[in-house]
Chain A
Amino acid sequence: MDELVKAITAALEDCELVLGWARDPATGAGRPERFTSAGQAQEAIFDATCVHNLAVHLPRLKQRRVGIVVKGCDARSVVELVVEREVERERVQVIGVGCDGVLDLKRIWRRHGYGVAIEDDGETLLVDGSEVERQPLLQHKCRHCLDADPSIYDVVVGGRTAEGPEPRGERQELAERFREMTPSQRRDFWRRQFARCIRCYACREACPMCFCRDVCIMQTQVPHWAGGEVNPKEAEMIQLIRVGHLAGRCTGCGECERACPVEIPLMLLMEEQNRALEEMLDYRAGTDIEARPPLLTFDPDRDLWGDE
C-alpha cells in the first residue's frame, strides 16, 4: 500500500484534498476518507472492501482542486462527469488502482454479522476465519466487469492479481429470467421489489451522475411528477424518472443498488437500458473522454431507429 500512500502524498502537493479510503475501525472495511495531509495519507488503503464510488463527491467539490482514488468502474464516472462538463479534468488528479472486484459487504454482513472479520488477497476470501467462495460474494457488477483497469488516470497504483472475473453469476440469470417474462410478469416482479422501497433516495444520492441534487424532480412540488406517498406505484415512478434521466449516462457503477437498504435490484433496470442503448447507439457512457454523448447531442442526420 506504500505506493498508494506515496501517490496520495504526491497528489496533495497539487490538490487541497484527495478522496480515498481508510480503514473503518468498527469493521476493518474501507470507508471514504478525505486526505488533506501527508500524515493523514498514511492511513490510505485499497482492497476489496473499498466498495464506494468516490466520484459522487466530485460535483460538490467542483470549485476545488482535488485528487481521487478510482477503481476501473469509478474511472468511468469521472470520464462521464468530464464529458458532461460537471467536472474539469484539469482540476482532478486521478489515482487509478488495479481491482480484483470488490465485495458485496452488505451480503456478507447480513449473513455473518456486521463487522465480521474479512481477509481477502484478490483470490482467496476468508470470512470469520473460514474460506468461502469469492466470486458469489463480489458485487454483481464485478461478476461481469469489463473495466477492471481504469481508463483514465494520472498515476496507476497496483495491478490486478487475478484474471478478469468470469462473466457469469446470478445477476445474469436474473436478467435472463427477466427477459423471458411477459410484460405483466415484469410488472408484478417490480411491484414486488418496489413494495420494499422506503423512498430514502439513497439510490439517487449515491449516484455520481445524479447531480441535480436538491432540485431533483422526484421531490419537487413544481413540477409535481411523483406523488408523496410511499408505495410501489410511486417507487416505480421515481425509478422511471431515474432510469430516464440516466439514459446514455449511466456508467454501470452499481452504486444505486449497493446503496439501496432493501436490495432492490436497480441495476437490472439500468443494465437492461444500457444494453439496449449500446445496441442502438453504439455508445457506452464513461468510456471515451472525447465523446459527444449521442443523447446529449442533437444531430439531425442521425437516424436513431436504424431504418434509414
Chain B
Amino acid sequence: MTTTARAGRAAAEPLRPEPATIVEVIEETPNIKSLRVVFDDGELMKSFSFAPGQVGQLGILGVGEATFAISSAPSEKDFLQFSVMKTGVVTTAIHELAAGDKVTLRAPLGNSFPVEEWRGKNVLVVGGGIGMAPLRSLFMHLMDHREDYGDLQLIYGARTPADVCFSSDCSLWSEKRDVDFITTIDAEHPEWGGRVGLVPSVLEEENPSPENNVAVTCGPPVMLKFVFESLEKLGFREDQVYTTLERRMKCGIGLCGRCNVGPRYVCVDGPVFSLAELRRLPDEL
C-alpha cells in the first residue's frame, strides 16, 4: 500500500479521527443502511486507498466509534461506503444521519483478503445477511480485475426478500455473463421468484469443485459454522477457506486488548483469517 496522507497522520495520532461528511444514505433493508462518506480533507480523499476486507472506525463525536467493514470497492474513489445494521448505541445514532451530516473516520484498519495470492484461481464467495458488506468490496474488486481470476461465483443469502442488501448491485451482477451470481432466501415467499434455501444447502447443491479454488465467507456465526462444514464436505482444505471476523473493538490498533482471539488481535492481525489459522487459535469466538 502506498503511503497516504492518512497513514502519516495515523502514525502521529492513531486515535485521532478525520472529519468526514455523509454524501448519500441508502436504505438497504428495514434495519441496514449504507452510508457513503467523504473525508473533509480533499487531499486525503484523493490519496486514500485500501484493500478489500479492511475496516474503518466510523464515529459520531459525542456518541462514539464502531468498527465496520468498508463495503465499497477500492476502485470507487469518490467515497467510502459502510453498511451498518442498527443494533446498539452507535449504530442507532448512525441510522439517524442524513446526507450532509458530519461523522469521523479512522481508516483503513486491519488486514485484507489476500487477493494477490489468489490470482489465477477460481474464487467462491459465500455471504449471509450483513456479512455481505466486506464481500461486496471483495467481489467488486475481483470483477474489476476479472482477467486475473478464474471462475467467480457469489452465493448470497438473506432471510426474506426485504432483507436483501445491495439490491441494485444484485441486479447488475445477475446480468453479468462472466460471473455466477446466486441470491437465495431462507424460506418460500410470495414476492420471491428466485432461489430458496439456506446458504449451506444452496452451496452444496451448487457443488463447486475445490480444485484451484478459494472460498471466502462471511455471515452470522451459525451460518459460518455450517458453511465451513459444507465446504469441508465438498473437499475444500482449511487453507482454501477464508473468513472475516467481528469483535468488539475500541482502539483498532492492537492496544486496547478486547478483540483478541487467543494471541491474535482481530483489529490488526485480522479481521481476515483463513480457516486454517482460525483452527490453530483457541476456541473462543
Q: Which residues of A contact B (CB under 8 A)?
A: 221-222
User: Does B89 have its Cβ within 8 Å of any Cβ on chain A?
Assistant: yes
Name the B residues within 8 Å of A222 (CB-CB): 89
B-chain residues with CB within 8 Å of residue A221 when the two chains form the complex = 88-89
The chain A residue with its CB closest to the CB of B64 is: A221
Q: Tell me, rounded to whole Å, the shortest Cβ–Cβ distance linking A225 to chain B.
A: 14
How many Å from the CB of A55 to the closest CB on chain B?
31
User: 3 closest A-B pairs (Cβ-Cβ)?
Assistant: A221-B89, A222-B89, A221-B88
Q: List 3 A-B contacts (CB under 8 A).
A: A221-B88, A221-B89, A222-B89
Rounded to whole angstroms, the CA-CA distance of A156 and B89 in the bound complex is 51
Report the number of A-B residue pairs with Cβ-Cβ less than 8 Å: 3
Q: Mark B70-106, 1 if CB is under 8 A from A, else 0.
A: 0000000000000000001100000000000000000
Main secondary structure, interface of A, reads: loop
Chain A residues near B89 (CB, 8 Å)?
Answer: 221-222
| A15–chain B nearest beta-carbon distance, Å | 32
Which chain B residue lies CB-closest to A220?
A: B89
Q: Could you tell me the distance between the alpha carbons of A221 and B64 in the complex, rounded to whole angstroms?
A: 11
* Residues of chain A within 8 A of B88, CB atoms compared: 221
Q: Complex Cα distance A11/B170, Å?
A: 66
Closest chain B residue to A224, Cβ basis: B89
Distance A200 CA – B252 CA, assembled complex (angstroms):
24
Closest B residue to A221 by beta carbon equals: B89
- Complex: A206 Cα to B89 Cα, angstroms: 29
B residues 32-80 near A (Cβ < 8 Å) are: none
Q: How far is the CA of A222 from the CA of B89 in the complex (A)?
A: 8
Task: Tell me the chain B residues, 192-233 only, with Cβ under 8 Å from chain A.
Answer: none
A222 to B92, CA, bound (A): 12
Q: How far is the CA of A300 from the CA of B88 in the complex (A)?
A: 39
Distance to closest chain A CB from B256 (angstroms): 13
CB distance from B95 to the nearest CB of A (A): 15
Shortest B229–chain A CB gap in Å is 32
Distance of B48 from chain A, by nearest CB (Å) = 31
Give CA–CA (A221, B88) in the complex, Å: 9
- With both beta carbons as reference points, the residue of chain A lying nearest to B92 in the complex is identified as A222
Which residue of chain A has the shortest Cβ distance to B88 in the bound complex? A221
Q: How far is the CA of A222 from the CA of B90 in the complex (A)?
A: 11
Nearest-Cβ distance from residue B255 to partner chain A, whole angstroms: 17
B90 to chain A: closest residue by CB: A221
CA distance A223 to B88 in the complex (A): 12
Query: Within the assembled complex, what's the spacing in Å between the Cα atoms of A221 and B89?
Result: 8
Chain B min CB distance to A35 (Å): 31
Bound-state CA distance A268–B88 (Å) is 38
State the CA gap A98–B89 with chains docked (Å).
51
